Structure 1
């Protein structure tokens, strides 16, 4: 049976949401998942006391991508699949079991993604995104519908492409997905695998414009030269296709 390792990068400044996040991981139907909290050296002791049942590791390097890499390295070869979860997000109880089963069923799959549910600060449902199998073609065309919470990656594939880009501040997940789908197959599960919390304190909300700029940069830099040059010709049509996919696929 495959084993998953999930990193929760956190500063520990939202203890109620962090507790809810960890509770969602503890309730996973798949019993072989490992979780580690990765934080700054200053917060490590405090979080270890607050959450004694979860291993806490001080990150090596600055930034969220470096924190996630620190946790992945801590797992080593004890896990077969890797992921991470923001300290304000959640996973439905069947998320890891479904994703791991798909990776086991498809040995050539490098990652698994699914539907994403947006929740409010109160945890209540707000909206649902169903990227479908069009998520990967859209990614190659420069549009990101494959949202990270709930995604699971084969460890050997992540290592083969060199892991996360620590030079990116916000869109390192988009960059990882784009490189992974260039390396192998991504499998889609028509079920909610992740819940993304929308609130004023989230990074996505506070730095929305910067996140979009960085995501556009990483998506376009990996396009073939001919695609970048001709993007003004086919880009508007692909944008319309993306909006149609979001509108009708997310109902």
Structure 2
């Protein structure tokens, strides 16, 4: 891959204007600069944006997956983007060479599909849930992995043309895993690059009111869509046990089981299970698709 043209996609609900301004300033400071920057107002009007930024205002909130597909489609229409970088609207690129260093990773590996950034707070701390591998390895250990972080990452447009975009119906939760499993099954690689940092506030996923329901429903959908039949009960059983062990509140647990049953009862799109060689590949990378 020669000169790599970067397109940046940012979703916002209009409730973080100061953070969005800071993020866009950090994007503008990148050397080399992005070829395109698209900001999607996900069911909300957009504040004034810097010159050259493409604005898209959606009449309704399509969720993370749907909103990112809208941004992706707009970038695809321009026809001059090789890698899409998705960034949370309350994140910040604290270095000015993030795109340059990411481009070098893609130049070294023509089958690199996804680059996952490291997410760290203003003190440099990375939450355990933001380390995309099992075990006790620290956040500074990079390498090939089986999933990626939604808050900051790069996606090859060639890969997306082959495997498709985000799963719209998921709305929020596990949309990254669905995309990652499809990428791996098509022979693409995912690299966690801790040197590429997105600064992001220390948060809890349960801050979202729909967290427990969406997590459970979408995990069932993920299993039904992507796993070989023998692995579906193993995967869902492991996560049911792990959820109980985390001891959520009674309200959270009720919402989780409600979402689980919703996932069982409702359609989830076409079933295209991964191949067993993909299962073996994921296992070799340290995360078999049962946990």
TM-score by length of 1: 0.73
Q: CA 1:10–1:108 in structure 2 vs 1: closer, same or farther (change >3 Å)?
A: same
Report which of the two structures shows the higher radius of gyration computed on alpha carbons.
2
Q: Which has the higher contact order (CA 8 A, sep 6+)?
A: 1
By percentage of residues, which structure has more helix? Answer: 1
Aligned equivalent of 1:198:
202
Q: How does 1:46-57 map to 2 (within 5 A)?
A: 47=47, 49-57=48-56
**Pairing 1:185–2:189 present:** yes
Partners in 2 of 1:195 and 1:78 — Cα distance? 27
Q: CA 1:217–1:24 in structure 2 vs 1: closer, same or farther (change >3 Å)?
A: farther
Aligned equivalent of 1:248:
none
Q: 2:14 aligns with which of 4, 12, 15?
A: 12
Count of matched residue positions in the alignment of Structure 1 and Structure 2? 222
Partners in 2 of 1:230 and 1:11 — Cα distance? 37
Q: CA 1:193–1:179 in structure 2 vs 1: closer, same or farther (change >3 Å)?
A: farther
Aligned equivalent of 1:86:
88
Aligned equivalent of 2:112:
109
Partners in 2 of 1:35 and 1:204 — Cα distance? 30
- The root-mean-square deviation of aligned C-alpha atoms, in Å, is 3.2
Partners in 1 of 2:235 and 2:228 — Cα distance? 11
TM-score by length of 2: 0.64
Aligned equivalent of 2:145:
135
Partners in 1 of 2:39 and 2:236 — Cα distance? 43
Aligned equivalent of 2:213:
210
Q: List alignment gaps of at least 5 residues for structure 1.
A: 140-145, 240-244, 246-251
Q: CA 1:17–1:180 in structure 2 vs 1: closer, same or farther (change >3 Å)?
A: same
Task: Work out whether residues 112 and 190 of structure 2, in 8 Å CA contact, stay in contact via their aligned partners in 1.
Answer: yes
Q: CA 1:41–1:2 in structure 2 vs 1: closer, same or farther (change >3 Å)?
A: same
Aligned equivalent of 2:149:
147
Partners in 2 of 1:204 and 1:182 — Cα distance? 30
Give the match's secondary structure for 1:148.
Answer: coil
Task: Work out whether residues 111 and 187 of structure 1, in 8 Å CA contact, stay in contact via their aligned partners in 2.
Answer: yes
Aligned equivalent of 2:72:
72
Give the match's secondary structure for 1:43.
Answer: coil
Q: CA 1:232–1:34 in structure 2 vs 1: closer, same or farther (change >3 Å)?
A: closer
TM-superposed deviation, 1:114: 3.9
TM-superposed deviation, 1:219: 4.2
Q: Which moved more, 1:211-220 or 1:66-75?
A: 211-220
Q: List alignment gaps of at least 5 residues for structure 2.
A: 133-141, 246-285, 287-291
Task: Work out whether residues 92 and 192 of structure 1, in 8 Å CA contact, stay in contact via their aligned partners in 2.
Answer: no
Q: CA 1:79–1:61 in structure 2 vs 1: closer, same or farther (change >3 Å)?
A: farther
Task: Work out whether residues 37 and 71 of structure 1, in 8 Å CA contact, stay in contact via their aligned partners in 2.
Answer: yes
TM-superposed deviation, 1:106: 0.8
Partners in 1 of 2:92 and 2:29 — Cα distance? 11
Partners in 2 of 1:34 and 1:130 — Cα distance? 29
